[in-house]
Each structure stands twice: as C-alpha cells, then as structure tokens.
Structure 1
Amino acid sequence: MTRLQSSLTAPLVGAPHARDAVRALRPSQIREVANAGFGNPDVLPFWFGESDRATPRFIRDAACAALAAGDTFYTHNLGIAPLREAIARHVSAWHGPTDAGDVAVTSAGVNALMLASQLVVGAGDRVVAVTPLWPNIVEMPKILGACVETVSLEYGASGWQLDVDRLIGALTPDTRLVIINSPNNPSGWVMPPEQQQAVLDHCRRHGIWILADEVYERLYYGDVHEDVCAPSFLDLASRDERVICVNSFSKAYLMTGWRLGWLVAPASLMDDLAKLIEYNTSCAPAFVQQAGIAALGDDGQTPRTLVRELRASRDHLVAALRALPGIDAASPPGAMYVSFSMPGAKQSLALCKALVREAGLGLAPGSAFGPEGEGFVRWCYACDVARIDAGMARLKEFLESHR
C-alpha cells in the first residue's frame, strides 16, 4: 500500500480546530446582542462604544490629501517621526516630559493592548485585572497562556469604587502584570491619583508591570470646564519604569473606524516592540498616520467640544433613568457609558436580547464585562439627547409591559 493510500484509509481524528487556549476565549456578548438587531432599521443601538458623530472634516481631509499625494507605502514599524513627535508633545503637555523615543504608533488601541501583553506576558504568568472590564483586555493574556485573576470594583451609593487595599493584596510577588482601565469601560469609574500612587509604589517594590488602558483619559468630567484629563500613571511614573500606557485616537477624536492608537513605554522596549509590530501589522497605514497628526494639531478643540456634548448627554440620561422605578443609576466621572441596574438585569444577556426583540432598544449586557458586571446593563450616551429620549421612551414602555 502506498503512503497516499494509507493516508486515505487512516481513521479520522476529529474535525480540525484551534488550540485549546483560543477555543476557551469567551465570545463577545455585546456582539451577540448586536447580531440580534443588525439589519433591523427600527432598533436604536446604544451597545457599542462609539459616538454617532462622524470624524471631523479636517481630519478626513488630511487623510484624503495624503492619499492623493500617494502616501500609501510602508512606514517605520514604530510610526512616522512627525506623528511620534506630535504624540510626545501631546503627552508631555498633560503628563510631563516624554520623548518621541518613548512612543510607538499602533494599528488601534486594541492592537496596542495586545502588543503590550506580548511584550511582557508569557505562558504560565499571573495577571491581575480590575473588573468589570472590556472583555478583550481580559482575554488577551489568556491567548498567550497566562492566568488572569480579577479584582472587582464595588457598586454603592456613590457609584463604582475600588477597594485599593484588596487590589494591592492580590498583587503578590509572583504577579507579572496588573491591568487597569481608567476611565473605565463599562462603569465610567476613574482611579484617583492617590490610589494610582499606592499601586505604583507596590508594583515598584515587587517588579510588577502596570498596563494602563487610558483611551478615555480626555473623556473626563472632573472639572467644570472641558479642557481636562483624567489622572494617569504617566503623571507619577518616570518613563523608564515598568509602566506601559495605551491610548487611542478612537474616542476623543471620533476616529473609531480609523484604527490608530499609540502606547508610551520605556525606550528600552522599543527595539523589541518594533519586532512585534513587524510580525503583527508591520505598521499603521501612512495616510491614517497623517490623519492622526491633523487630529492632534487642532489644539484640543475636538475633545473639548466632545466632552461638553457628552456631559450634557450623560446628565440627561442619568436624570431620565433615575425617574424610572426600579432603576439605580450613578453619574459616572469619565468615559461615555452609564452602567445601571434594572429589573431583570441579574440575567443581563437575556434581558438585552429581550430589549432588542420587544422594544427595539440595543444595550450591552453587564455580563459581557465579566461576572462582576452581571446585574447591570451599559448604555453608551455618545449621542444627542433626542436619541436618548427616544431610547428612554422604549425602555419605559418595556418596563411597564413587564411590570
């Protein structure tokens, strides 16, 4: 019998499938709810984390001009020098001296998060994450074979809060990395500077890496005016410490579809980071990077305008939610979401599917952000108040019909 004949008659060993670590990843429940409503024009979607406003024209024009000029070739793995320099100036203005050599441009914030994980996490490493949290961040280290443990925020009369002593207690000397997202998705919680300092001091003593997801830092309502920035680990740490901060153009500059982000990390990591970028995406598109330069060049007007609009939408939504019986909603200090409890939310995935099916209302289930989010649903308020009112009318009718 020939080798070919032998292979054709050999018993099957089962269908081909991905490796176990990938198969064990949890699918996005936000997508699961959204898939139930896609294609239905009558559904009002508040499930995804993006504004309903288009990218400002001057940013789009910069990309169009770059395309027209033929700027369609590969760039340096870490990004074009003018964009890295613009990001460094931006970071320096908010968080202290930062050099372009501390900055890498990435193909979206989520790509930056994965690259950061690949830089410092390997199989068997212990990772701690503050939750509830955007599921992508929790699952990324698992792809690399790491073990992820969680410390949950607690919800009370003043909204979502962190017991920092409990977090520090979980950061044992064998911990490789702690992941903190502030301002937080889904809760809008913002980590105060004194807690950041306590965590930084502890991680310094034990050589623990900090991965700070700060993509919502400009969407912060901690002051009466709009030109503010949330507290950052970059305010406290020197640039050569075990701190990696991830940011993105998606939220503050209304560029979700552009897939452009950056990270600030020790310069000693950059050569290895360039290799990882080469093996992931090679580089961010050149014309998209030109759009990023334009976004940072308007003296912060886009984030200021956006925050003013988001503050009005947040206040309107929270007031409307609090007027409905059975709903507990706290006003978040950052990001673009309200996570609130309501009747039926202890099975939030089933509830959100029912809201789509029966009310044409698209919200994100709290369980999408881990078991710590169960009992809540998330509403993205990055839209005008008229759209919020239309959604509230549907929510009110749904609650009355299920009373």
Structure 2
Amino acid sequence: MRRAPCLSRRPRPLPHAMRHTLATLEESKIREVANAGMGRGDVLPFWFGESDETTPEVVTEAAVASLRAGETFYAHNLGLPVLRERIAAYMAGLHGPAIDAGRIAVTSGGVNGLMLAAQALVDAGDEVVAVTPVWPNLVAQPQVMGARLRSVPLRPRADGAWELDMQALKSAVTPATRLLVVNAPNNPTGWTLSAAEQREILGHCRATGTWILADEVYERLYYEPTPHGCAPSFLDIAAPDDRLVVVHSFSKSFLMTGWRLGWLVMPPALTHPMGKLIEFNTSCTSVFTQRGGVAALEHAGEIVPRVTGHMRRCRDTLLPLLQAVPGVHAHAASGGMYAFFRIDGHGDAMATAKRLVAEAGLGLAPGNAFGPEGEGWLRWCFASRDPGRLAEGVDRLRTWLEKGGAV
C-alpha cells in the first residue's frame, strides 16, 4: 500500500522563482521611514507626495452618480471618448491645438502611465538615461524592463537651488540611448526646465533618435508668472510625431491621489498600440473614476487655481520658517509641492529621517530615496490643508535640534 503524502512537509523553494531584476529592486526608502511612524497619532506626516485635503465635492459627486447609474462595467481601453476629448481640450488650451483626442490614452494613475510608456518603448538591454534625483519609480520602471540605466545628476547650487548640466546631458544621450526620462517640475528638488533648455534637449534627441519620456504631472503647481498658468512643457515646442510621450495625472493639482487616474499624450501612431498594452495591464480605467475626471476638467478653471494658490501659500509659509532655523539650508523651488533641504552635520538622510520620526514626531522623506544625489537632504511635502501644521512641524524640528538632534 502506498503511503499518503505528508501534508505537513514544506515545499522546496523553486530555483529562480522570479526574475533577478525584480528580486534585486530596491524597496522604497520613503515607505521605510513612513512604516516606522504610521499609526502613531503624535507624528506629523509630511513624507508622502499628496495633500491632506480631500477631493473637491463636485468630482466625488460625479463618481457617485456614475455608480448609482450602474456604470460598473468595462470601458474602452483608451478611456471614455468624452474624457479623452475633455483632456485634449484642456491640454490644447495650455499647449496648442496640435493636441487632439487621437493622441490621448487614459491610464490608471500617472505611475501606470509611466509604466505603460516604459513597456511601449524599452526592450531588455536598451540604454535609458534619467535626470536625477527623481521619484524612484521613474528609474525603477526601465530597470523592470531590463534596461541599462545611466543617470545625469542635477547639481545643487550654493543657494540650495538645483540646476542641469546641459553638456553632461548631451554627452550622456547618444544614438545608443533609447529613452531619456525627465521629470520637471521635479520631485523632489522643484527644479524646472526652461523653455530654452527644452528646445535644446528636444533638438538633441531628434538628432540621436532618442525618445523622451516627460513626467509633467506637476506642471500646474508652478509659481512663476506664465501666460497659461503652467510650467514650460515639451508639448509647447514638439511636433505631433516627435518621439515624445508626456505623462500627466489628476493626483496633484486636482487633489485626486487615491483615484488612480492619469493620461498620456503621445504621437498618433503610438495610440493604438498603447491601447493593446492597456488591455494586457488593466484592461481599462473604471468608468466611475473617469466620470470624476470629466467633472474635474469641467471645473478645472475653479479647482486648479485654488489648489495652486493654496500650495503657494503653503510653500511661502514653510520656507521662511525653515530658513530661520540655524543650520538648515532651504531654497524656495519654482514648482512642485516639496521643500528639499539639508541640515548641517546630518549627512545620513535615512538616519536623520528615522530619528526625526522617533524623537520629534516629524515625518519627512530621506533625500537618498530619490537617488544618491539626494544623500544628506530631506524632502518635506508642504501640501497641507492647514498651514499651521507646517509651522508646528518646524517648531518640532527646531526643538529637536536644540535638544541634541544636532551632531
């Protein structure tokens, strides 16, 4: 008689159970710090890149109405036609009539759009160049695809602002470079490309045959005077058939981070293949979420200026207070929703961030989460519904330094 199998025996681990690339991907250092403080009511959390203000009611009500109407079924891969038309009109109003619905794909968040672009453009072994420091997902996604990644670091000036070495970028991007990844306005530094720099980069990439993946999700959170109320965009200068994919999101300037709704602007020839990729990733974005996006764009003229104005007030509240703390070096960035700063004597960003959580009840992101160029820096998201919380956070930082946080 054969013996019954021993059900308690643990199965042997399968060799090579996952791709080496995935096994060696770095986990988020932001999450590492946040996990140390989540659930503690005494911590002021400024570590994640989102506002603590809820989504405008007009957007929420549109999604609720969609659910009540029974819109709980699949949608077109590329998005609802009405939303694609609204996005195209919104973008054309900012960047010109060359943007039409045939160049738009609706995605399940900006990060999904970035991953779709990487899947569409990058093969294993391709060379990808990224401007860093940058949100870690932007460099991880090409690596997931098996790309060889090279970085062109931004450089901090003496005043704390960051700048691009254009010659270094042009030297790094060659005919062997498949993709250039640029995030401007930049997370975490707030650095923003000028229109002249964008022309130079676009011209160089045309000559080398390199695609540009431009993460412009912070374009409306821009604090310099401009004709259209947004940061300079590659879409202002590019032709429709240029090798350019621009990623956008409803998350930041519409206060919709948890909705997971974004979009891509791309050459018309890429749109249909992108629909196939969306089918194999998420199939489509939920209809009720897209109805919220339609409402957001219908009321963009009210929502976005209010959000941007409030973010400016938050920035202008936080920065002078930080700059008044002895040993703190901070610069008011032109765009984004972050203060990126350093403290004398605190060269280990992760250790400092963890100490601030444990000893001061202050939650910040370590700068090295965004690349080695950010070591010794800290990122403070100033998107707070109550600017008074920012002042309280600075008080905690100052007190911590005075009581022995300084080394």
TM-score between both structures, scaled by the size of structure 1: 0.96
Report the alpha carbon displacement of residue 343 of structure 1 after superposing the two structures with TM. 3.2
Report the alpha carbon displacement of residue 313 of structure 1 after superposing the two structures with TM. 1.0
Equivalent position SS for 2:347? helix
Q: Which shows bigger deviation, 60-69 or 293-302? A: 293-302
> In the TM superposition, what are the counterparts of 1:45-56 in structure 2 within 5 Å?
45-56=45-56
Report the counterpart of residue 96 of structure 1 in structure 2. 96
Cα distance in structure 2, aligned partners of 1:351 and 1:14: 39
For residues 199-243 of structure 1, what are the alpha-carbon distances to aligned partners after superposition, in whole Å with 9 as ceiling and x for unaligned? 100100111000000000000001289x61000000010111100
For the 8 Å contact 1:48–1:364, the answer to whether it is kept is yes
For residues 130-189 of structure 1, what are the alpha-carbon distances to aligned partners after superposition, in whole Å with 9 as ceiling and x for unaligned? 000000110000011001110111111341111111111110110000000000000111
Question: Does 1:189 pair with 2:172?
Answer: no
Cα distance in structure 1, aligned partners of 2:252 and 2:345: 30
Report the counterpart of residue 59 of structure 1 in structure 2. 59
Cα distance in structure 2, aligned partners of 1:331 and 1:69: 46
Question: Does 1:205 pair with 2:204?
Answer: no
Equivalent position SS for 2:343? coil
Equivalent position SS for 1:263? strand
> In the TM superposition, what are the counterparts of 1:129-168 in structure 2 within 5 Å?
129-158=130-159, 159-168=161-170
Report the alpha carbon displacement of residue 13 of structure 1 after superposing the two structures with TM. 6.3
Whichever residue aligns with residue 350 of structure 2, its letter is L
Equivalent position SS for 1:61? helix
Whichever residue aligns with residue 187 of structure 2, its letter is N
Report the counterpart of residue 174 of structure 1 in structure 2. 176
Whichever residue aligns with residue 212 of structure 2, its letter is I
Report the counterpart of residue 121 of structure 1 in structure 2. 122
Q: Give the unaligned 5+ runs of structure 2.
A: none
Cα distance in structure 2, aligned partners of 1:252 and 1:89: 17
For the 8 Å contact 1:345–1:374, the answer to whether it is kept is no
Report the counterpart of residue 388 of structure 2 in structure 1. 386
Question: Does 1:72 pair with 2:75?
Answer: no
Cα gap change, 1:353/1:238 in structure 2, threshold over 3 Å: closer, same or farther?
Answer: same
Report the counterpart of residue 231 of structure 1 in structure 2. 232
Report the alpha carbon displacement of residue 299 of structure 1 after superposing the two structures with TM. 4.1
Q: Which shows bigger deviation, 165-174 or 247-256? A: 165-174
Report the counterpart of residue 373 of structure 1 in structure 2. 374
For the 8 Å contact 1:123–1:145, the answer to whether it is kept is yes
Cα distance in structure 2, aligned partners of 1:345 and 1:168: 33
Report the alpha carbon displacement of residue 346 of structure 1 after superposing the two structures with TM. 1.4
Cα distance in structure 2, aligned partners of 1:52 and 1:370: 26
Equivalent position SS for 2:162? strand
For residues 237-259 of structure 1, what are the alpha-carbon distances to aligned partners after superposition, in whole Å with 9 as ceiling and x for unaligned? 01111000000000000000000
For the 8 Å contact 1:344–1:351, the answer to whether it is kept is no
Q: Give the unaligned 5+ runs of structure 1.
A: none
For the 8 Å contact 1:341–1:376, the answer to whether it is kept is yes
> In the TM superposition, what are the counterparts of 1:21-60 in structure 2 within 5 Å?
21-60=21-60
Cα distance in structure 2, aligned partners of 1:297 and 1:160: 36
Cα distance in structure 2, aligned partners of 1:95 and 1:56: 25
Question: Does 1:289 pair with 2:287?
Answer: no
Report the counterpart of residue 220 of structure 1 in structure 2. 222
Number of aligned residues: 399
Equivalent position SS for 1:145? coil
Whichever residue aligns with residue 365 of structure 1, its letter is P
Report the alpha carbon displacement of residue 270 of structure 1 after superposing the two structures with TM. 1.4
Report the counterpart of residue 397 of structure 1 in structure 2. 399
Report the alpha carbon displacement of residue 14 of structure 1 after superposing the two structures with TM. 6.0
For residues 54-96 of structure 1, what are the alpha-carbon distances to aligned partners after superposition, in whole Å with 9 as ceiling and x for unaligned? 0000000000001110111100000010000000001100111
RMSD over aligned CA atoms reads 2.0
Cα distance in structure 1, aligned partners of 2:115 and 2:171: 26
Report the alpha carbon displacement of residue 12 of structure 1 after superposing the two structures with TM. 4.9
Cα distance in structure 1, aligned partners of 2:181 and 2:394: 34
TM-score between both structures, scaled by the size of structure 2: 0.95
For residues 260-280 of structure 1, what are the alpha-carbon distances to aligned partners after superposition, in whole Å with 9 as ceiling and x for unaligned? 000000111112111110010
Cα distance in structure 2, aligned partners of 1:394 and 1:17: 46
Cα distance in structure 1, aligned partners of 2:310 and 2:345: 31
Report the alpha carbon displacement of residue 18 of structure 1 after superposing the two structures with TM. 2.3
Report the counterpart of residue 242 of structure 2 in structure 1. 241
